[in-house]
Amino acid sequence: MTDMAWVLSAYGFQVNPLQLNEWMNTEGGNVRPFSDGGFWGASVNWKAIDFVSGEDLQTDRHGNGHFKEGTSLTDPTVLDGYLANGDLVVVQVKDSYGYQHWVTVKAKTNGDYSIMDPGFSDTSALLADYHTFWTYVVVSKAKGK
């Protein structure tokens, strides 16, 4: 949720995680359906970014979906083209304690991928600190916008 709010804010849509949570939960007093950007059970719906931005942004999910042992992507260079285009990339990682969560890749500098991790305040974190990832979501400006 925090990564989604960070990405929206980076593109000029000022929203915090609480506001995004409320938006994803309700629509006119009713539960927002998944097809309109609402939650999918306890999982976030990345398409909420498309809806909250008025479809000025688009999301494209890549990778192996939910984590399964042995399905990780270990070569982050698959992200290079997106970062070079100015797109933002949110990557699902597993930390050293075995917890899965999402981090936002800010840039690639000198071969390292700097990230923002909502679980830590360390602003110098690197994607390499997590060793592997298995799903990533690219957020870009919608074509023609």
pLDDT at 8: 95
pLDDT at 39: 85
Distance CA 38, CA 10 (A): 21
Question: How high does pLDDT run on average in the chain?
Answer: 84
The Cα-based distances of 128 to 72, 89, 91, 95, 142 in angstroms read 13, 15, 12, 11, 29
Mean pLDDT on 117-127? 78
Q: Label residue 70 by pLDDT band (50, 70, 90).
A: low
- List the structure tokens of 26: 């309700």
**DSSP category for residue 5:** H
- Is residue 115 within a helix (H) or strand (E), and if so which, with residue range? strand 112-116
**Residue with token string 């592997």:** 132
Q: Label residue 130 by pLDDT band (50, 70, 90).
A: confident
Q: Label residue 69 by pLDDT band (50, 70, 90).
A: low
| 121 exposure class (CB count in 10 Å sphere: 0-12, 13-18, 19+) | exposed
Helix, strand and coil in the chain, % to nearest 5: 25, 30, 40
Q: For residue range 14-58, list pLDDT tens digits in order.
A: 999 999 999 888 877 788 888 888 887 778 888 999 999 999 999
Taking alpha carbons only, the member of 102, 101, 107, 68 closest to residue 86 is: 107
pLDDT at 57: 95
Instruction: Report domain extents, the chain.
Output: 2-141
CATH 3.40.1410.10 fits 2-141, yes or no: no
Residues with Cβ within 8 Å of 86's Cβ and at least 6 positions away in sequence, in order, are 140
